[in-house]
């Protein structure tokens, strides 16, 4: 008997249930991670139009489900695409559907009076298809880089709507800059 594919609708139903009963961001991320792992095992669970870039060299950013307590988005990184060190101000779970992504995690020690922070690389990962990465309070600063020559397709799930959310980004020298956009930046 063929195994049934875990569908996007089932994943969203599970997220709705988990986020309505669990309040700890870390606990939510821990519970969502294996479910996202199941979802990303089957690329066909995500419609093909959300697994490709829109053309003209742009990154693919697609909202799949937008609820008050969580968002599910698809991200398609082109070859060489990057996002510098940034935080999220919420829990997150990221799963790779196709190809791979390099994720760098940082330890950030804030500078006095909003001055330069100390930004140290904690770990560098290469996540392949089916891999899942958790962002939890206290460990949610990362950078992303598609170091390959092919597109990388991911699903990102966050506990807050990132549109308009006041976040931060750090230069390699520790200079901190506000990261806030009226557009939905789903990474
Ligand atoms: Fe991110």
Say if 160 falls within a structural domain.
yes
Instruction: Kindly state whether residue 46 falls inside one of the protein's structural domains.
Output: yes
1 alpha carbon to ligand 1 midpoint, in Å? 39
> Could you tell me if residue 95 is inside a domain?
yes
> What's the CA dihedral at 115, 120, 123, 127 to 10 degrees?
40
Confidence (pLDDT) at 1? 53
Distance from residue 53's CA to the centre of ligand 1 (Å) = 18
CA 85 to centroid of ligand 1, rounded, Å: 8
Tell me, yes or no, whether 2 lies in a domain. no
Mean pLDDT per block of 10 residues along the chain (187 residues) reads 83 98 97 98 96 89 95 96 95 98 95 84 97 96 97 97 88 88 74
Structural domain contains residue 144:
yes
Distance 140 CA to ligand 1 centre (A): 8
Place of tokens 């003209």: 56
Q: Which domain holds residue 74?
A: 8-179
What is the distance in A from the centroid of ligand 1 to the CA of 103?
9
Tokens (6 digits) for 178: 């506000």
In a domain, 130, yes or no: yes
CATH number at residue 60: 2.60.120.10
Q: What pLDDT sits at residue 110?
A: 86
Model pLDDT, residue 92: 97
Question: How many separate domains does the chain show?
Answer: 1
How many whole angstroms from 137 Cα to the centroid of ligand 1?
13
The answer to whether position 1 is within a domain reads: no
Does residue 3 belong to any structural domain of this protein? no
């Amino acid at each position: 008997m063929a195994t049934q594919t875990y569908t996007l609708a089932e994943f969203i139903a599970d997220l709705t249930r988990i986020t309505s009963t669990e309040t700890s961001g870390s606990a939510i991320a821990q519970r969502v991670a294996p479910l996202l792992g199941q979802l990303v095992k089957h690329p066909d669970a995500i419609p093909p139009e959300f697994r490709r870039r829109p053309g003209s060299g742009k990154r693919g950013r697609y909202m799949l489900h937008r609820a008050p307590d969580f968002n599910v988005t698809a991200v398609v990184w082109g070859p060489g695409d990057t996002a510098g060190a940034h935080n999220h101000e919420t829990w997150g779970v990221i799963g790779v559907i196709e190809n791979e992504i390099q994720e760098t995690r940082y330890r950030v020690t804030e500078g006095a009076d909003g001055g330069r922070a100390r930004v140290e690389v904690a770990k560098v990962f290469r996540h392949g298809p089916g891999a899942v990465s958790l962002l939890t309070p206290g460990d949610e600063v990362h950078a992303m880089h598609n170091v390959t020559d092919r597109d990388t397709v991911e699903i990102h799930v966050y506990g807050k709507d990132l549109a308009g959310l006041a976040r931060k980004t750090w230069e390699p020298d520790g200079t901190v800059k506000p990261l806030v956009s009226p557009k939905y930046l789903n990474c």
